[in-house]
Chain A
């Protein structure tokens, strides 16, 4: 079945969440997500579901792309969500084993190991444009949850940049995203990350400040 004119794939999934006829559309959509650097978890889970129902129709190349896109969705747990739906014997294939290792390093914030592993699997990953930048963004996210200020080498190994390219990267962040640079002890450069509620907990608005209305209603009779 060809894609119906006038429907986006998201709409197609919403209307036919359990329809094997849209399998080809969903596979095309994965490739489209790769080339247009977009992402749709719902559509991809729907496809994995169809594969789960009819394993003989599974296309492992498409599955690999879905998993790479899911890695790029970190810190969301999308990679696990996909693995939950992929049979164990399929996960044993070499390409999936490599992706699982990559996910493990990201989940445990071991960035240097992650980038080493990326270098070994370049053939598989370079098919997906934007991979490295997206992971760098995730690394920065994790760093900004953790640090107010960090030594330059910590940043360097997390984003896998050094020397001039790191200087350029920092220059860009300082100009556009409110980063700062300071001199630390010795000749060490310190990178100051923008303030957020995670690295400056005092900024966090306490969600517990209010009392839900239904609790207050209990004393209405007294107040009246």
Chain B
């Protein structure tokens, strides 16, 4: 295996890329993997050249633009030409061929449906590609978008393989044979260890630490290396932390997932926000994991920020191949936000524009969820099922008769445990609404209103306290409740949570507005 990506200067086909518009229509009936249309040849030749020249801008144009356009025009229903067929046009360059195949498989996954064999081959290709990055000397500089897509697609294909492997009922003998033969393909240890190795080998955690002390530049250059080095390992390592968070969420291991994300400070903008896919993936999984850990305020705060961001910027992504994904995750995060707010009504944390969207989408459902009857559970169930990650069973199946499908098992377990949590909180909404009406109320009176005896009321009030206090990542107890209380002897004293923070924000905005007005008045005088 070639371990370096050192180019020798060769002569290049300098024909203009724009002039080669071939006449073939997409959707050819017979796919010939060895046929390389002119436009594809031009595409790979140019992409290869730009990679050698470290022209990140042009690489990005070809990767995001040309590849999509050609796929749309010529490969709607068939794969791209095989790597063997294009290799002669790129000096049989080993690493370029690995990159080409990575895109080749990604296209098959996105537009066609991959066969068992293709799934296994794609795994092999990732192993070779990451092997080169981890153990070779890579000098390339690739766009962040592409590097993020690699990590994201790697995790996606792993998830997809687990789902595929779990549907045993309908497998043909040939497919079963393949599963047996390649039982190491997409093995969960392999997947996790590749991501972990990328994080470690890239030293990204140390780089981020050093950056905090001003000893290193990383965010300032968006992770690119302008001193002749390569950004590939570093950025793959960076994105792998988000990849690990996602894998752990897919496995139901929320605590470990959040730990993987700790080196990235999501309280502010950073390299993870440059590529919107990475930004969304980080926040969606972060929020989901926090919701499962009952840290509702944390989840609400981050969902709100992300949704507000998408609202502002989604128009700039309309032409992006990720646009559908952005919209889908956007909808899912609204559903999760609706769930979190139903369990923990911290509406003050929501910005107005997000709040309007939320009402439009989920007003009725949120009202139902407040009621905690059978219909309410059905709504919690529906929203959770719609918005949760695609949970997986990671173990290799035994492949013994009778063959059954177990692809739903992991999801059903997470759903069941989540609804169990919802049931434990079912009486809290009632207490909350009564407490909003009183500043003090006796236990006996409140018990009367709630139609329970006093002993039961005491357990409900303690449950309220327990559920509305989360343990944060430092082990500290933090209150999540909008309405709090304490009991002195037989009397409940209610305390409404105040949020003085908004005044500061309000004044700052007014100062700016005022200054603007003064400026305008000044100009009027000058005229």
Contact = CB atoms under 8 A, between A and B. Distances in A.
A124 interface: no
Contacts of A206: 498, 500
A84 B389 CA distance: 14
B118 to A, nearest CB: 25
A83 B417 contact: yes
B274 interface: no
Contact of A201 (B292, B413, B486, B487): B486
B322 interface: no
Interface in B441-490: 458-459, 461-463, 465-467, 469, 471, 475, 477, 479, 484, 486-489
A75 B488 CA distance: 23
A117 to B, nearest CB: 15
B319 interface: no
B409 A87 contact: yes
A154 B486 CA distance: 15
B489 A17 contact: no
A216 B487 CA distance: 39
A19 B395 CA distance: 14
Given A109-B459, A148-B486, A211-B504, A198 B255 contact: no
A104 B462 CA distance: 14
B210 interface: no
A118 interface: no
Contact of B409 (A88, A143, A147, A199): A88
B508 A215 contact: yes
Interface in A16-72: 17-20, 41-42, 45-46, 49, 52-55
Contacts of B192: 17-18
A69 to B, nearest CB: 15
B113 interface: no
Q: Is the interface of B mostly helix, strand, loop or mixed?
A: helix
Nearest to A80: B417
A209 B500 contact: yes
Contacts of A149: 487-489
B21 interface: no
B201 interface: no
Given A52-B395, A109-B466, A77 B413 contact: no
Contacts of B421: 80
Given A75-B466, A198-B465, A215 B504 contact: yes
Contacts of B484: 198, 201
A202 B289 CA distance: 32
Interface residues of B, number: 57
Among A18, A41, A49, A218: residue with most chain B CB under 10 A: A18
Contact of B501 (A42, A104, A109, A208): A208
B508 A81 contact: no
B251 interface: yes
Contacts of A88: 409, 412-413, 416
A49 B462 contact: no
A211 B511 CA distance: 14
B46 to A, nearest CB: 40
B424 A104 contact: yes
A83 B477 CA distance: 22
B479 A198 contact: yes
B424 A45 contact: no
Question: How big is the A interface, by class?
Answer: 35 or more
Contacts, number: 146
Nearest to B511: A219
B255 A200 contact: no
Nearest to A73: B471
Nearest to B427: A108
Contacts of A198: 465, 469, 477, 479, 484, 486
Among A84, A190, A198: residue with most chain B CB under 10 A: A84
Contacts of A142: 462, 465-466
Interface in B273-324: 292-294
Among B196, B486, B508: residue with most chain A CB under 10 A: B486
Contacts of A3: none
A107 B487 contact: no
A110 B459 CA distance: 6
A84 B292 contact: yes
A107 B466 contact: yes
A76 interface: yes
Interface in A146-163: 146-151, 154
Contacts of A83: 417
Nearest to B187: A53
B253 interface: yes
B237 to A, nearest CB: 15
Contacts of B292: 80, 84
Contacts of A209: 500-501
A53 B499 CA distance: 45
B161 interface: no
B221 to A, nearest CB: 21
A18 B459 contact: no
A53 B394 contact: yes
Interface string B112-151: 0000000000000000000000000000000000000000
Nearest to A110: B459
Given A17-B196, A45-B255, A218-B512, A211 B505 contact: yes
Nearest to B420: A104
24 contacts: A20-B189, A45-B255, A49-B251, A54-B395, A75-B469, A80-B417, A80-B421, A84-B253, A87-B413, A104-B420, A107-B424, A107-B467, A109-B463, A109-B466, A146-B486, A147-B486, A149-B489, A184-B489, A199-B486, A204-B479, A208-B500, A211-B504, A215-B504, A222-B515
Q: Top 3 nearest A-B pairs by Cβ distance? A: A208-B501, A109-B462, A84-B252
Interface of B: 188-189, 192-193, 196, 251-256, 259, 268, 292-294, 394-395, 409, 412-414, 416-417, 420-421, 424, 458-459, 461-463, 465-467, 469, 471, 475, 477, 479, 484, 486-489, 495, 498-502, 504-505, 508, 511-512, 515
Given A52-B395, A84-B414, 20 more contacts: A17-B256, A19-B189, A75-B466, A75-B471, A75-B477, A84-B417, A87-B409, A108-B463, A143-B462, A146-B487, A149-B487, A150-B489, A154-B458, A198-B477, A198-B484, A199-B486, A200-B486, A201-B486, A215-B508, A218-B508
